[in-house]
Every structure is written in structure tokens, then in C-alpha cells.
Amino acid sequence: MNARALALLLAAALLASAFGVVTAQHRTRSLFVELERAQQRAAALVAEGNRQRVELARLLQPATVDAAARQLGLRPIDAAHTVMLPAPRSAQP
């Protein structure tokens, strides 16, 4: 009976160990899939950031700003319509 109890105990320990291995492998695979998704998302965000930097550089070009201003009805500075104000006098004691 003693040998039988030991064999049952060892079988239970083996079964628990097998379940532990399967659980660990499943968790490892799940984390690996999650890591790959995060890396893909990071790569997509880097690409989007690069695209936005290129677009910002294009929008900051003087010709682009000038074209946008003209579409809004703005026009270049005209000396005939410019009023020069005198500099304020500094208060001296």
C-alpha cells in the first residue's frame, strides 16, 4: 500500500507539472503575440510621425504659407497702406 500511495503521489505531481508546463507555454505564446502587436503598432506610429514631420516641413515653406494666405484673401504688405507709429517716449525723472 505504501508503494501504491507513493506511485499515486508521483503521478499527481507529474500531472500537475505537465499542466504547469502547458500553462507556461500558453502564457509565453500569448505574451509573444502581444509583443509582436505592440512592435507593429510602434512601427506604425514611427511611420506616422515621419509622415507628419515631412508634411510639417512642406507646410512651413514660404510658398505654401503665401498660397494659403492668398486663399484666405490676405495680400502682401503695401507701403501705401502702412502707417508708421512713433516710438513711445521713455519716462525720465
Query: Are the C-beta atoms of residues 64 and 58 closer than 8 Å to each other?
Result: yes
* pLDDT over threshold 60, residue 93: no
Q: How far apart are CA 12 and CA 4, in angstroms?
A: 12
Q: What is the pLDDT of residues 40-55, one digit of tens each?
A: 999 999 999 999 999 9
Domain positions in the chain are 2-73
Residue type, 44: A
Q: What is the pLDDT of residues 13-68, one digit of tens each?
A: 999 999 999 999 999 999 999 999 999 999 999 999 999 999 999 999 999 999 99
- Under the banding of pLDDT at 50, 70 and 90, the label for residue 92 is low
Q: How far apart are CA 60 and CA 55, in angstroms?
A: 9
Q: How far apart are CA 65 and CA 57, in angstroms?
A: 11
